[in-house]
Structures are given as C-alpha cells and as structure tokens.
Amino acid sequence: MPDKKRAPYLFILPSIFGVFFLTFFPAMFAFYISFHRWNILVPNKPFVGLANFRKAFTDEYFLRSLWISFKYALGVIPTKIVISFFFALLIYSIPKFKSVFRVIYFLPAVTSVVAISVIWTWIYHPYYGLANYLISLFGAEPINWLGNPEIAIWSVVLVSVWRSVGYSIIIFLAGLNNIPRIILEASDIDGATRWQKVKNIIIPLMKPSLVFVFITSTIGAIQVFTEIYMMTGGNADTKTAVFYIWQTGFNKLQMGYASSMSIVLFAIILVITLIQMRVTKIFKEE
C-alpha cells in the first residue's frame, strides 16, 4: 500500500486501540462478569446466570437510586432547555455582542466538573456560604443546602443547569442561524409579534435542535455521578443509579452485581436513544 494511503490508517490506529481497550473490551468484560458472583478478593467466582439481574429488579436501593436519577433528570432537563432557549433567542437578537456572550456563557461548560462542584460546595456551606449570606439579607434562616434530604438533590440540579446551559445555547444558536432570515423578515412585514414568531416559526423550525438537546440532556442526567460524588457523597437522598453502581462495585466489591445494574441502566439509555432516532426521523420526514 502506498505511503499516502497508509498514513490515514496509521493516524486513526491509536484511537481504534483506545476505543477497543478502554470501551469495547471493558463493556464485554462487564457483560461477562454480570452472570457471575464476582468479587476481586475471592478466588471462586461461580456462574449464577440471571440471578444478578433478578436481584437488580427487586433491589429497593437500586430502584430508589433509579427514581432519584429520573427525579434529577426531571429537574435538569426542562429547566435547562427553557433557560438556554431563552438566552439563545436573546443573544440571537443582539448580534453586536454575540461573540462576548458566547465566551461568557460557555465558560462553565468547559470548566472541570470537579472544580465547579468544589466551588458550589463552598457556596452552599451552611455557615460560611454565599447562598446563605444572600438569603440572610432578606431575613431568612440559614439552610443546609446539601444536607437536607428535601432540597439537596435540587441544589445539585441548580449547579448542573448552570454548568451545562452554555452547551445547549450553542446548539440552539446553531439552529437559529439555520432559519432563513427571509422568513423572519416576511413575518415582520405581516405584523407578527415577537411571541407569534417564536411560537409559529422559530420553534417549529428548531424541532430537530430541541429534540437533540432533550435526548442528550436526558442521557447525561441519568448518568450523573461527579456532582453527586463531590457535593453530597450520595447522602441526603441524592444517591443516583450510577453512584449506587459505583458504590456496589468499588466499596462492596460486588463487581458482578454492579455490572448487571450497569447493563440495566445501559438498556434504559438505549431505549431513550432509539426513541431519539425515531423522533428525529419523524421530524425529518415532516
């Protein structure tokens, strides 16, 4: 094979090895050990068939963690979509400062999640945090933002929305830029109000972008781990599915059972992805 034809394959070879050894092989190994009672400290690792999967569907702690993950997703997704869509429209209507705003709102999206979690943990500190200082100005009592089971998960939701809204704004701005300006100009001539343009023109033409953000946000929210680990440690009724799987596998060393729960979670995400593909196809046909 000539050198010019061989060069592209040589460049992608490291990525292929990376995908195989860091993604494909671990996934296949997890599938294998999910059918075993696998403890890394115990030599005997018997085959148990579907016992781990049956246990997962009857494990109240795992089911509870799934519910917390979905509750977290229900808090993050609509809030993020509404806020990011609003700011995308706002930035789109002010082209003069678009580049400046683009840097400002996207900074949290490219900042380390660990760093953001540490900063917000201090903001939420019950005695020295900025959040309690601000509400004290209005005479309110200090709140244990990350220790109160009733509000801890919503405190993390706020951080996640703030961190990820910039990425969604980028997607929505791309969708807005794809709308032919002649359509918007024609609506101005017809006397359409701003709300009528958003409702009858912008939203229908941006359905693919809205669906993409909705599905990717759902998948990301269901897999949340870092914010929970750094900010609450899974306490105060914030133990999500991924956190519980990690705790089972690395704290309790029940690798087989943790792998089976991972596969159940993967199946849920796969169903969501298939729905995304189906809905996107419908929108394209329309």
Tens digits of per-residue pLDDT, 3-58?
667 777 788 888 888 888 888 888 899 999 999 998 888 888 899 999 999 999 99
- Please name the fold of domain 57-285: MetI-like fold (1.10.3720)
Q: What's the average model confidence in pLDDT over 97-106?
A: 76
**pLDDT on residue 283:** 62
**pLDDT on residue 20:** 83
pTM of the model: 0.86
Q: What's the average model confidence in pLDDT over 195-221?
A: 86
Q: Which of 14, 144, 161, 202 is nearest to 73 (CA)?
A: 161
* Residue 178's pLDDT band (cuts 50, 70, 90): confident
